[in-house]
Every structure is written in C-alpha cells, then in structure tokens.
Amino acid sequence: MMTGLRLNWSPLKEPLGFIKVLEWFMAVFAFATCGGYAGRNVVSVYCSEGANGTLSATFSYPFRLNQVLLVESNTTLCNRTVPETHLVGNASSSAEFFVTIAVLAFLYCMVALLVYVGYMHIYRDSDLGPIVDFMMTVFFAFFWLVCSSAWARGLQTVKNATGTGAIREVLPLCREAGVVCEVSEFASMRSLNISVVFGYLNMIMWAGNAWFAYKETRWNAQKYSSQPAGSRAQVPAPI
C-alpha cells in the first residue's frame, strides 16, 4: 500500500467531500457572527427634578454581563448620587461553548479535507480512517445541537439583561417616584440571531453527512456482503 501524498480533487465532487467544504464555511460563519460581536445599549433617564441623564452599556463576546459597567461610581443622576452599578447575568459559558465547537469543527474539516484530497487511497484501503471519520461526524452533529440550544438560551439571557425591565431592576434609582428609565437605543443583535441559525444548520449538515461517512465504513460493506446470495439481483444469462 502506497502511503505517499497523491493529490486527487475528485473526492470534493462527491457528497462526502463537498458537504465537508460546506461545513468548513458554515463553521467560519458560526464563530464569526458570535465571537466577533460587540454592541451598545443607550439608557435614557428622565427626571422630574434635575436634568435628564443618559447611560450606556457596551457588551461583547463572551457576554459576562455582570462585569459590564452601567453607572460609574458616585455618578449624579436626578440630583441623586448613584453608586457603581453593573448589569446582571452571565452568558459566557454558552457563548464560549458554541464558539469552541465551531472552531473545533473548522479545524476538523481542514484535516478531513486534507485526507480526502491527498490520502483518499489510504482512507479507503483502511478500516480505521472511515470509522474515525464517521464517529467524529456523529460527535459534531450531536454537539452542534447541544451548543446551539445552549447558545439560543444564552442569547435570550443577553436580550433580557440589556432590556428596559432588567435595567429598572438593577438600578434602584429607576424605581423611585418621578424617575423613568428606558432603553432608548438598542444594539443590533442580528448577527447573534444569525449565529444561532448557523448553529442549527451545522447540526443538520453534520447529521446528513454522517450517512455518507457511514457508507465508507466496513460496517456498511459487511451489511451487504452478509446478505444471502439468493436475495441479490440475478444477472440474466446471455442468450
């Protein structure tokens, strides 16, 4: 068996390789739309006594909202001294989990494509390669489902923590008579919504790719080779 590099681009035209290229791109989009996010909400404070004020909360990946400063120490609002105040909530675990799976999927796709293009002759001549590929494909299909669901919940935490209701809860001044607080400018979270969509699309693609990876394994070959001869299609004898 030859073990050297043999470039062959034809596997990329087959479902096994073509879907892997799509998975590579989808993983890039998933971690880019989540990991590169930064946004800012503007909070307007309307006072019946004193000048109105404006606060801002800038948050970004990994969304440790309890470390985001809303009010600096000893700030004067509505003729009152307000202590240092942070947002509430922490979505870092789900966000980092999502990005980690996306990065690992990206790296695995690169390794798998290298094998398909340069070492497909070894891949198909061995039992271990296709089995490992199938197991890894199932692994990523499962964890794309888990991390996407976790991040969808984490994103809802981010939205709730930066909304008007949460601001009023975390800032006691907003609950006093004659003071009204509301978020007057919301950060666009379109890219975060898209990241969740990409997560579930990745799960669907990896689950579909598991079938094509399974067809390369010896388990699939044994299934057909173990069929009785009578159950196989008979070729008509020449006349």
The CA distance from 34 to 125, in Å, is 40
Does the pLDDT value for residue 63 go beyond 80? yes
Task: Find out whether the peptide bond into 62 is cis, omega within 30 degrees of 0.
Answer: yes
Percent of the chain scoring above 70 in pLDDT: 90
Cβ count within 10 A of residue 179: 22
Q: At what angle do helices 15-35 and 190-215 cross, to 10 degrees?
A: 160
Does the pLDDT value for residue 233 go beyond 50? no
pLDDT in tens, 93-119: 999 999 999 999 999 999 999 999 988
Per-domain boundaries in the chain: 14-221
What global pTM score does this model have?
Answer: 0.85
Average pLDDT estimate for 80-89: 89
Residue entry with tokens 């692994």: 139
Supply 146's token pair: 């888990």
The CA distance from 195 to 175, in Å, is 35
The pLDDT assigned to 238 comes to: 45
For residues 114 and 6, the answer to whether their CB atoms sit within 8 Å is no
Amino acid at 168: R
In degrees rounded to 5, what are phi and psi of residue 86?
Answer: -115, 165
For residues 71 and 85, the answer to whether their CB atoms sit within 8 Å is yes
pLDDT in tens, 133-191: 999 999 999 999 999 999 999 999 999 999 999 999 999 888 888 899 999 999 999 99
pLDDT in tens, 8-34: 888 888 888 999 999 999 999 999 999
The pLDDT assigned to 3 comes to: 63
Q: At what angle do helices 92-118 and 190-215 cross, to 10 degrees?
A: 40
DSSP 8-state class, residue 73: T
Mean pLDDT of the chain: 88
Residue entry with tokens 């600096």: 72
The pLDDT assigned to 121 comes to: 86
Angle at 33 between CA 67 and CA 111, to 5 degrees: 115
Does the pLDDT value for residue 73 go beyond 50? yes
